Homo-oligomer: A and B are copies of this chain.
C-alpha cells in the first residue's frame, strides 16, 4: 500500500481522507511525507497494530482533546503575543497551527518539518487543542468579542498562585499516548509561534499507559485515588449542554467550551501520613476500587443520605465527593480531564507533584466557580492541596477542513 502510494505520487494526506481509518493506519509508519518521503519509500514499514495506530480526527464541530479520553502524555502551553503582533498575525499563527495539528493527528509529516522526532510512530491518539485567554482580546482589538464567561476567576482561600505560571493570551493543550509524539507536536507548535508569540509557561503531565491495567478504567491520581468517576459522559443526554456552548448560539464560540486550568500540588507527605481509613473518609470513596462509602461499586450512584452502622453519615459532611457533587451545587458539573505531573522535589524534600487539573464546561460561572467556592469552604481534601497556578481559556468550536480554529473570531 505504501509503495503504491509512492508510485502514484498521491499525497498521504489525500489517501488518509479516502482510505478510511483502517487503511490509514497502515500508512502512518515511516512518515512518508516532507523531507523524509524519498527515504521512507526505500523500506516498507511494519504495520502498526498497537496504541500508535489510534487516531482522533482534528476536524469536527468540537475541537479534539475535550470529550476524548485523556492520553498518557500531556503538554500544556501558554503563550503571549509578542509586542506588535496584531490580529492578522494571530490569525496567520492559528492558521499555521491548525494545519500542523491536522497533519499530525492524521499521522502525516507537516510541511517543512524535518525534526524527525516522531518518525516510526503512529499518531498515538494525538490531539492539539487551542484556546484564547482574556488578555488576547484587548491585544488584538477584539475586546468587544470577549465573552462574558471569560471574566476573571474569583480568588479562593486555598490559592497560592504564581502569576507567571498562570493565564496567557493563547493556550495549547497537547495529548498523545506516546511521549515522543507529544514532544514532537509541542516542539512544532512552539517553533511555529515564531515572532508572533512566545512561551509564557509550559507544563508536562501524564496518565496511565494504555494496557497497563486489565481493562480501560477510570484513572488514578498521585494520591492513589480513582479520580473522575462522576465525570459527565459523552453518552449522557445533557453532556453537550453542560460542556459545549450551543452550536446555534450564533456566537463565534458556538460549539466551543471553556477550560479552567489549575496546577494543583498535592501535599503527598501529609496525605500518606493519614491511615487508609481516614483517607477514604476524606474522599468518600474506597481507595481500592473507588466505590462510594455508601455502598456498591465504583459506578453505583452515591447515596449522600446513607447512615452507616455507627449512626453517622456514610459519606462524611466534609467528604470531597459530597461537597463536589452536583446535588450540592445546584447541578453544577464540569468535565475533568486532568494529567498528573511530577517535576522532582522541592527544597524541603517533598515531591513537586500533583494534578494538572483541566476542567471543561459550557460556562465556568455554572461549572468550576460554584463548585470550587463550595470546595474552598467545606472540602476535607483542601488541606492536602495547593492551587499553584490558574488560568481560564475560551476554546472555540472545531473547524472544517478548509478552516482554522478561531477563524470565526479572527475574521468574523
Contact = CB atoms under 8 A, between A and B. Distances in A.
Contacts of A213: 29, 46, 48, 52, 120-122
Nearest to A198: B349
6 contacts: A36-B288, A115-B224, A121-B212, A178-B209, A199-B345, A343-B343
A116 B222 contact: no
Q: Please indicate which of the listed interface residues A48, A288, A353 has the most CB atoms of chain B within 10 Å of its own CB.
A: A288
A14 interface: no
A211 interface: yes
Contacts of A268: 187
A223 B286 CA distance: 45
A225 interface: yes
A206 interface: yes
Contacts of A116: 220, 223-225, 276, 287-288
A195 to B, nearest CB: 12
Contacts of A191: 272
Interface of A: 29-31, 35-36, 39-40, 42-43, 45-52, 72-73, 114-117, 119-122, 124, 177-181, 183, 187, 190-191, 198-199, 202-204, 206-215, 217, 220, 222-225, 268, 272, 275-276, 279, 286-289, 297, 340, 342-345, 349, 351, 353
Q: Please indicate which of the listed interface residues A72, A212, A214 has the most CB atoms of chain B within 10 Å of its own CB.
A: A212
> How many copies of the shown chain assemble into the complex?
2
A210 to B, nearest CB: 7
A168 to B, nearest CB: 14
Closest 8 CB pairs of A and B: A50-B211, A116-B224, A46-B214, A39-B288, A178-B212, A46-B215, A52-B212, A179-B206
Contacts of A297: 43
Contacts of A48: 213-214
A180 B120 contact: no
A96 B15 CA distance: 57
Contacts of A289: 30, 39-40, 42-43
A40 B214 contact: no
Q: Please indicate which of the listed interface residues A72, A177, A213, A345 has the most CB atoms of chain B within 10 Å of its own CB.
A: A213
Contacts of A204: 342-344
Contacts of A29: 213-214
A286 B224 CA distance: 44
Contacts of A177: 209, 212
A120 B51 contact: no
A124 B155 CA distance: 41
A306 to B, nearest CB: 18
A17 B204 CA distance: 38
Contact of A35 (B39, B211, B276): B276
A121 B208 contact: yes
Contacts of A212: 50-52, 121-122, 124, 177-178, 180-181
A269 to B, nearest CB: 8
Given A51-B209, A209-B124, A214-B49, A224 B345 contact: no
B179 A220 contact: no
Contacts of A178: 208-209, 212
